With several copies, the nearest count.
Chain A
Amino acid sequence: MAFAPKAVITSRREAAPPPARDLEQEIALAARFVRQHVIASIYHAGSGHPGGSLSCADILATLFGAELNTWPGSPHDPMRDRFVLSKGHAAPALYAVGAHHGYCDKLASLKLRKFGSPFQGHPHIGDLPWVETSTGSLGQGFSVALGMAMGLKLQNSSARVYALLGDGELQEGEVWEGAMCAAHHKLDNFCAIIDYNKLQSDARNDEIMRLEPLAAKWRAFDWAVAEIDGHDVSALLKTFRRAGATHDRPSVIIAHTVKGKGVPYMENMPAWHGSVKLTREQADDALTALGATHKEIREYLDGV
């Protein structure tokens, strides 16, 4: 971890008390809900990306549960923090965490990827106003988030901007354009989180296009870098707090995760990245592994 020393304390987060134990538990529960909801919605859709949706569940649950100053009732509040899912194919996880926190309806958001449903395969602001920008083409969400951070700073807003990126996404040059730009403009209200699950579409990053030494890359692009376990809620909470206090530099959190986390037969399997079809049995197994009761499973899979 290499965040800049907190020379000046500016973040409102500084004043907040340290996260309580029960907050962590709340977040863990939310993450479990997210994972279950992801499986159920992809099952109903007959397609969708489970691996990368599961790997970022804890990150999303932490962001929406504790870090983001956003309110479901006022998606247009100019003071709100902004979150951008740059790895837009993890839309099911975004919809799930949104449903958990009241941004959208739980049942409706199970209707994923269907015609007429606002829950498209990739998040679309035109359908869901609380989605800050439409994504699905890797690299772009990061740049859009950067633009938000720049624009908020220009307007002296204290709102912060968060972008969640995939590791494979870092192969897009646009990300390094943005990395250079955010550092140059000292966007310390900007925090990128890398869902570092080591897998991309077809295989391991190492096979497709090596990313290591990853922290060194971000450091050389002049970002404050933290490396943590992306499933450790307590570490996530602490690291977000530190990022919020970083001065004069944007922060990146390299969150080591497991693709497919929580569903044993999916974990670390590239085959479960892609747009896949889940059988009833697979969905059942996954939900069981994710701690759903028989009743809950029936509700998830038959109640829609």
Chain B
Amino acid sequence: MASEAPALIGSSGDSLREAFGKALSGLADEFPKLVVLDADIAGGTGVHHFRKSHPERFLQFGIAEQNMMAAAGGLAAVGLLPVVTTFAVFCLRAVEQARLSLAYCKRNAMIVASHPGLDVGPDGGSAQALEDIAAFRAIPGMTVISPADPIETALATRAILEFDGPVYMRTGRSPARRVFGDDHTFEIGKGRIVRGGNDVTIVACGVEVARAVEAAQVLAEDGIHARVVNMATIKPIDAVLLERCAKETGAIVTAEDHNILGGLGGAVAESLALTYPCPIEFVGVKDVFGASGEPEELAVMFGLGSKSIAEAARRAIARKGRM
């Protein structure tokens, strides 16, 4: 029937935003102070689930991200546990509010951003945030997280509610591949080796973790054993694990759905420069804007696909010991 409600795009049960939205509803009883802030985009961020399950704790701010972000500071100040939700690109509208009214005040407030990077797909370049990790990472005391799959997103949702201090967490728009089983655990600040190998380490976050695993499988066919690290916490970065990987594998690839400047790649480069400098290749969007298209297609065209990661791994390996 033509008059039926339309199908929501890209929010199958396996998108990170859906996993986040459902997890939030499930956790609401356990966290009675939890309130969810929306800027007229609940259907997009996954928190329509929470609106339905806990309407009295769902706070509507309209299309006004600055006010929403700063108001979260006030809600936290009176003892509530606010979770600010919008698209990643619109979080960039409220960077200064997150800085002053959340981070500077050390508020227990969480920012959860859906629609990061090229994963946004057909909405196109204007909507594909490639800068958010860099911008939020630079705010003193702000923790930055980008989980890899729906299971991890659900775990991370609980972890940030239990966490003390402001957090910026990315989810994702498009159906995501599963990386982890039901036995997965998550801890803020800890990277995890998801695949062993000693020739090179691929450090990835978000949608790039699944692609990194795929790249490692391809490399394995050529006898190259790539280690894959899921670096779900970008700040504070797991410097100990990075140092170990650099020592053990001698070359690093970073992979993220973000500009290659200032994001996960930057965090890894900074960390290793302090502990164990080694060749790094960066997989990410190369300082250009995105475009409309399907996420997988865009990933390939902009050099974020598993093939690009595998090529970067070969380059990194080739540079070992060449200094």
* Residues in A lying within 8 Å of B, measured CB to CB: 45-48, 78, 82, 88, 113-117, 119-122, 124-126, 132-140, 143-152, 154-155, 157, 161, 168-169, 171-174, 177-178, 180-181, 184, 200-202, 207-209, 265, 271-272, 274-279, 281-282, 284-286
Contacts and interface: CB of A to CB of B under 8 A. Distances in A.
A196 B212 CA distance: 47
Nearest to B127: A136
B239 interface: no
Given A113-B292, A143-B101, A276-B6, A200 B72 contact: no
Contact of A271 (B6, B40, B73): B6
A277 B12 CA distance: 13
12 contacts: A48-B122, A88-B126, A126-B104, A150-B75, A152-B78, A154-B35, A171-B62, A173-B67, A184-B62, A276-B6, A277-B7, A282-B6
A78 B78 contact: yes
Contacts of A171: 40, 62-64
Nearest to B92: A137
B40 A201 contact: yes
Interface in B85-129: 89-90, 93, 96-97, 100-101, 104-106, 121-127
B126 A137 contact: yes
Given A171-B63, A276-B8, 15 more contacts: A47-B9, A119-B292, A120-B124, A124-B124, A126-B106, A144-B70, A149-B74, A151-B35, A151-B74, A168-B40, A177-B61, A208-B60, A274-B6, A274-B8, A282-B4
Most buried by A among B1, B6, B122: B6
B213 interface: no
Nearest to A137: B100
Most buried by B among A151, A208, A271: A151
Given A144-B71, A146-B67, A147-B73, A180 B62 contact: yes
A151 B79 contact: yes
Contact of A178 (B71, B82, B293): B71
Interface stretch (B182-190, B197-205, B242-250, B294-302): B294-302
A134 B40 contact: no
B64 A181 contact: yes
Interface stretch (B41-49, B154-162, B270-278, B303-311): B41-49
B27 interface: no
Contacts of B3: 265
Nearest to A91: B124
B2 interface: yes
Contact of A136 (B75, B126, B293, B298): B126
Contacts of A117: 292
Interface in B249-267: none
Contacts of B82: 147
A137 B96 contact: yes
B291 interface: yes
Contacts of A180: 62, 64
Contacts of A200: 40, 62-63
A95 to B, nearest CB: 12
B64 A134 contact: no
Contacts of A151: 35, 74-75, 77-80
B286 to A, nearest CB: 16
A152 B80 CA distance: 9
A82 to B, nearest CB: 8
Given A134-B104, A168-B40, A201-B41, A115 B59 contact: no
B59 A134 contact: no
Nearest to B77: A148
B42 A202 contact: yes
B101 to A, nearest CB: 5
Contacts of A209: 40, 60-64
A209 B41 CA distance: 13
Given A115-B298, A209-B61, A124 B125 contact: yes
Contacts of B293: 113-116
Contacts of B53: none
B217 interface: no
Nearest to A205: B62
* CB-CB nearest 10 A-B residue pairs: A147-B74, A209-B62, A115-B293, A147-B71, A136-B126, A143-B70, A120-B124, A276-B6, A177-B67, A177-B64
A260 B6 CA distance: 13
Nearest to A283: B2
Given A78-B78, A113-B292, A150-B71, A121 B101 contact: no
Nearest to A135: B126
Contact of A274 (B44, B75, B294): B44
Given A113-B122, A134-B126, A143 B43 contact: no
